């Protein structure tokens, strides 16, 4: 065990002892509504600015993950999080209010699995018994920072994606939660399983030469392919090892490219069709006018902390590979002739 | 061993098997000149933009740290770095060229010790035998982003600090370098010791309410005091355990406040006077017109990777506590009425 090339195998398989996910209004109108722990009626979340609203979402998710996991602020050994805002504004101000030792992460939209890998290392290696991790994004803060102020009323091209107003957090622990059962929709009870982190593959920065900030899926997909192929080589697994393989936010265009590239790499087409999906294509309905789908740190963070975590707790999914995908887009680099580098980190979860 | 509150004790004490530091032209004219491995004659470093120059400095430092440590790109299990630029532009583009699994860090100017703690966790826990870490800053990129474009010719208040054009990198390894001797100034040879990472204290975000971007020292000092006091409580040590205690970039004003606060906390005044110093006050001469001293990720990164590392290799310092200090300053948050949160992470190094 231990390490093989890009992949870390966690000998003690840290427990995700709780998780909390928040969606904004649009996300709450989408197909994942029932998997979110909270949906906002108003994306300002009662704050005066979008940035403060995003920070409050992240703080709520982190606080609730801790509370549900039965841990106090004093018991949390570390907090790892990040967001898309310059200087991690949402995370920094969240951390100011939380008084937990804080490590800021930046991997653009890959931040959720970056935090999950490093948080799992801290727990697996017994450096901390409880670590809380998370990530957030907000449509209004991201548009203002990366593209156009909303007031500009800019027309978005069909390849553009919609930054999810969402946050997700998880409490990683050295021991399981021990809770036994949960009521489900039909009123019956099901036994809940533990969800544990089994392995993580740290991604490399890959640049495919895409320069268009409205083509994020194309910019990130080569990094996702690279990380997935390396994960499979390091683990000796095929796609069918997993019930579900999820990328973070490639969107409809990126997902199609991903399928083509995986098929081109010789992977089984039926496995790709049945096991692979992308959070950016799951979080909105096609009639929600989001063009190429969802994006943002919060897109994968909320889908993993909501949909994936709950399905695994219920035993509806046994083995899942989650892979947040990031476009390391800067507002300055394009003016200096640079393309958009991508990165993806993969985490293997088991339900048992 | 293991963990106590905010502090991690590294059982296997990872080796800093090599380090590399770069200073810009102004830094090369300062008192630390002889401790840098490279000084630039021209802060563009042959590039067309300041941002590309900063990224090249960081890449050079990371590459040289690897090379001097006798490790290839393929042997490095991970690379952790960060900088002050939005979306970690210097680190992202550096990482694109390096093809090493990459984890982006953001702690403003605290990034060097943040990366050092997490890199040491990866090596200490046997998740990777070799991890390269680093951080950079550049006066011209930071001024443009955080304050005024240089072309504006803005007058700087006396409390302002000068962002160092500098980079530092270290190779963390599970085994020592084994190199025995180095020629020193007088032509004789001295035996070189190993420098190892013994403990790390993860800081909390502390906000003292300072709102002025030209008062960074005051904004960061409370976080530095908090981390130092927690480090001493967790380790049961006094200031005199260390030959040298260094903060990253509090500058002249911050250093004075730090001394006052430590004295107010009941620490020995003579120990504070003789053992405590700040990289921001060491990197420039007073006649270099830098007002309150140096700042930036690169200020502490280059001082630690140059001055501290080499002095410890030579056995001139046995035990050093290094503590990079960060102001989580955003260009948006002040307009929303927010003050500047600070953070500091401490790392205890031993020479043996």
State residue A188's pLDDT score: 85
Kindly state whether B234 is in contact with chain A, defined as any CB-CB distance less than 8 angstroms: no
CB atoms B78 and A331 under 8 Å: no
- E strands along chain B, which residues? 2-4, 7-9, 15-23, 38-39, 78-83, 102-104, 130-137, 162-163, 166-173, 181-183, 189-191, 195-201, 206-207, 244-247, 276-278, 294-295, 319-327, 341-351
State residue B152's pLDDT score: 87
CB atoms B205 and A89 under 8 Å: no
State residue B153's pLDDT score: 87
What is the Cα–Cα distance from B106 to B98, expressed in whole angstroms? 19
CB atoms B336 and A52 under 8 Å: yes
The chain B residue lying nearest A115, using CA atoms, is B103
H or E element at residue A59: helix A50-68
- Confidence band for A1, pLDDT divided at 50, 70 and 90: low
Pick the residue of A130, A205, A337, A346 with the most B CBs within 10 A to test the interface with B by mutation. A205
A130 & A247 share domain:
no
Q: For residue A46, with 0-12 CB atoms within 10 Å meaning exposed, 13-18 middle and 19 or more buried, which class applies?
A: exposed
B304: its two tokens: 């630690």
Strand partners, B182: B190
Pick the residue of B72, B125, B137 with the most A CBs within 10 A to test the interface with A by mutation. B125
**pLDDT cut 70: percent of chain A above it:** 99
Strand partners, B107: B109
- Confidence band for A182, pLDDT divided at 50, 70 and 90: confident
Q: Is residue A187 included in any domain, yes or no? A: no
A224 & A111 share domain:
no
- Residue numbers in B near A105 (CB within 8 A): 103-106
B96 & B9 share domain:
yes
3-state secondary structure of A320: strand
CB atoms B103 and A104 under 8 Å: no
Radius of gyration of chain B (CA): 19
Q: Is residue B310 included in any domain, yes or no? A: yes
Nearest to B100 among A86, A108, A204 (CB): A204
Kindly state whether B226 is in contact with chain A, defined as any CB-CB distance less than 8 angstroms: no
Q: Is residue B179 included in any domain, yes or no? A: no
**Going by C-beta distance under 8 Å and a sequence separation of 6 or more, which residues neighbour residue A112?**
A133, A134, A135, A168, A248, A297, A300, A301, A304, A322, A324
Tokens 């998740």 correspond to: B127
- A248 or B177, greater pLDDT: A248
A273-A276-A280 Cα angle (round to 5): 120
Q: Is residue A283 included in any domain, yes or no? A: yes
Kindly state whether B44 is in contact with chain A, defined as any CB-CB distance less than 8 angstroms: no
The chain B residue lying nearest A108, using CA atoms, is B87
Nearest to A107 among B52, B104, B330 (CB): B104
A14 & A163 share domain:
yes
B7 & B144 share domain:
yes
- Residue numbers in A near B8 (CB within 8 A): 127-128
CB atoms B330 and A103 under 8 Å: no
A207 & A309 share domain:
yes
What's the longest Cα–Cα distance across chain B? Answer: 59
Pick the residue of B56, B202, B203, B230 with the most A CBs within 10 A to test the interface with A by mutation. B202
State residue B329's pLDDT score: 84
Query: Mean of the pLDDT values across residues A273-300?
Result: 96
H or E element at residue A277: strand A276-278
Kindly state whether A158 is in contact with chain B, defined as any CB-CB distance less than 8 angstroms: no
What is the Cα–Cα distance from B54 to B47, expressed in whole angstroms? 9
Q: How many angstroms separate the Cα of A72 from the Cα of each of A75, A120, A171?
A: 5, 19, 11
Closest among A246, A248, A253 to A214, alpha carbons compared: A253
B148 & B259 share domain:
no
Q: Which of A139, A173, A207 is the last residue of a domain?
A: A173
Q: Which of B173, B188, B210 is the last residue of a domain?
A: B173
DSSP 8-state secondary structure symbol assigned to residue B155: P
State residue B106's pLDDT score: 97
A-B contacts (CB, under 8 Å): 162
State the smallest CA–CA distance between residue A49 and chain B in angstroms. 8
CB atoms B204 and A114 under 8 Å: no
- DSSP H helical ranges for B86-242: 89-98, 111-124, 139-146, 216-235
State residue B280's pLDDT score: 98
Do A298 and A164 meet the contact criterion of CB atoms below 8 Å apart?
Answer: yes
Kindly state whether B200 is in contact with chain A, defined as any CB-CB distance less than 8 angstroms: no
What is the Cα–Cα distance from A176 to A159, expressed in whole angstroms? 42
Kindly state whether B124 is in contact with chain A, defined as any CB-CB distance less than 8 angstroms: yes
**Going by C-beta distance under 8 Å and a sequence separation of 6 or more, which residues neighbour residue A19?**
A65, A68, A168, A169, A170, A171, A304, A305, A306, A309
Q: Which of A173, A190, A219 is the last residue of a domain?
A: A173
Residue A286 confidence (pLDDT) above 90: no
Nearest to B126 among A2, A78, A87 (CB): A2
Q: Is residue A227 included in any domain, yes or no? A: yes
Residue A129: give the domain boundaries. Answer: 2-173
B292 & B327 share domain:
yes
B267: its two tokens: 């620490």
Give the total number of structural domains in chain A.
2
What is the Cα–Cα distance from B338 to A324, expressed in whole angstroms? 31
Kindly state whether A107 is in contact with chain B, defined as any CB-CB distance less than 8 angstroms: yes
- Residue numbers in A near B127 (CB within 8 A): 2-3, 8, 121, 125
B330 & B249 share domain:
yes
Name residues of chain B where pLDDT drops below 50: none
Tokens 């991997």 correspond to: A107
- Residue numbers in B near A106 (CB within 8 A): 82, 87-88, 104-106
State residue B181's pLDDT score: 77
Q: How many angstroms separate the Cα of A290 from the Cα of each of A100, A159, A161, A298?
A: 36, 10, 6, 15
Q: Tell me the per-residue pLDDT of A107-143, one tens digit each, with 9 for 90 and over.
A: 999 999 999 999 999 999 999 999 999 999 999 999 9
Query: Mean of the pLDDT values across residues A299-308?
Result: 98
Nearest to A101 among B203, B333, B338 (CB): B203
B305: its two tokens: 């990777």
Nearest to B99 among A106, A202, A204 (CB): A204
What is the Cα–Cα distance from A318 to B136, expressed in whole angstroms? 43
Q: Is residue B340 included in any domain, yes or no? A: yes
**Going by C-beta distance under 8 Å and a sequence separation of 6 or more, which residues neighbour residue A332?**
B51, B85, B86, B89
**What rounded mean pLDDT belongs to chain A?**
95
Q: Is residue A242 included in any domain, yes or no? A: yes
Do B294 and B161 meet the contact criterion of CB atoms below 8 Å apart?
Answer: yes
A305 & A210 share domain:
yes
CB atoms A118 and B118 under 8 Å: yes
Nearest to B88 among A49, A99, A106 (CB): A106
What is the Cα–Cα distance from B193 to A270, expressed in whole angstroms? 58
What is the Cα–Cα distance from B205 to A10, expressed in whole angstroms? 29
The answer, yes or no, to whether ipTM is higher than 0.85 is yes
B162 & B220 share domain:
no
Q: Tell me how crowded residue A130 is: count the other CB atoms within 10 A of its CB.
A: 25
Q: Tell me the per-residue pLDDT of A308-348, one tens digit each, with 9 for 90 and over.
A: 999 999 999 999 999 999 999 888 998 999 999 999 999 99
- Residue numbers in A near B105 (CB within 8 A): 103-106
What is the Cα–Cα distance from A53 to B58, expressed in whole angstroms? 35
- Residue numbers in A near B75 (CB within 8 A): none
Nearest to A96 among B86, B106, B205 (CB): B205
Nearest to A99 among B96, B103, B204 (CB): B204
Q: Tell me the per-residue pLDDT of A34-51, one tens digit each, with 9 for 90 and over.
A: 999 999 999 999 999 999
**Going by C-beta distance under 8 Å and a sequence separation of 6 or more, which residues neighbour residue B337?**
none
Q: Is residue B53 included in any domain, yes or no? A: yes
DSSP 8-state secondary structure symbol assigned to residue A57: H
Report the CATH number that the domain containing residue B24 is assigned in CATH: 3.40.47.40
What is the Cα–Cα distance from A16 to A129, expressed in whole angstroms? 12
Q: At what angle do helices A50-68 and A89-98 cross, to 10 degrees?
A: 50
The values of phi and psi at residue B201, to 5°, are: -110, 120
Between positions 256 and 275 of B, the ones with CB within 8 A of A are none
Q: Tell me the per-residue pLDDT of A200-233, one tens digit each, with 9 for 90 and over.
A: 999 999 999 999 888 999 999 999 999 999 999 9
B169 & B209 share domain:
no
Do A161 and A217 meet the contact criterion of CB atoms below 8 Å apart?
Answer: yes
């Amino acid at each position: 065990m231990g390490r093989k090339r890009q992949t870390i195998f966690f000998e003690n398989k840290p427990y995700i002892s709780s998780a909390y996910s928040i969606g904004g209004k649009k996300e709450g109108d989408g197909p994942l509504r029932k998997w979110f722990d909270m949906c906002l009626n108003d994306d300002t979340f009662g704050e005066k600015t979008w940035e403060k609203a995003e920070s409050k979402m992240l703080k709520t998710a982190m606080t609730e993950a801790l509370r549900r996991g039965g841990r106090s602020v004093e018991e949390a050994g570390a907090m790892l999080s990040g967001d898309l805002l310059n200087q991690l504004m949402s995370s920094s101000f969240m951390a100011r209010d939380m008084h937990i030792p804080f490590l800021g992460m930046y991997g653009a939209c890959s931040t959720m699995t970056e935090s999950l890998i490093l948080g799992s290392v801290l727990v697996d290696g017994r450096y901390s018994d409880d670590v809380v991790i998370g990530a957030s994004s907000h449509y209004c803060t991201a548009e203002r920072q990366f593209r156009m102020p909303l007031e500009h009323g800019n027309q978005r091209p069909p390849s553009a994606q919609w930054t999810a107003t969402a946050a997700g957090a998880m409490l990683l622990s050295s021991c399981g939660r021990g809770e036994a059962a949960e009521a489900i929709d039909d009123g019956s009870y099901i036994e809940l399983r533990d969800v544990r982190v089994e392995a993580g593959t740290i991604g490399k920065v890959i640049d495919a030469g895409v320069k268009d900030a409205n083509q994020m899926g194309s910019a990130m997909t080569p990094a996702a392919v690279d990380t997935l192929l390396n994960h499979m080589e390091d683990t000796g697994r095929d796609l069918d090892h997993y019930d579900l393989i999820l990328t973070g936010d490639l969107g409809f265009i990126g997902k199609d490219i991903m399928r083509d590239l995986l098929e081109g790499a010789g992977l089984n087409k039926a496995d790709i069709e049945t096991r692979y999906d992308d959070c950016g294509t799951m979080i909105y309905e096609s009639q929600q006018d989001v063009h190429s789908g969802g994006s943002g740190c919060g897109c994968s963070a909320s889908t993993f902390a909501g949909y994936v975590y709950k399905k695994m707790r219920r035993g509806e999914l046994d083995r899942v590979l989650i892979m947040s995908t990031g476009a390391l887009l800067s507002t300055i680099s394009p003016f200096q002739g640079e393309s958009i580098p991508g990165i993806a980190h993969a985490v293997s979860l088991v339900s048992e």
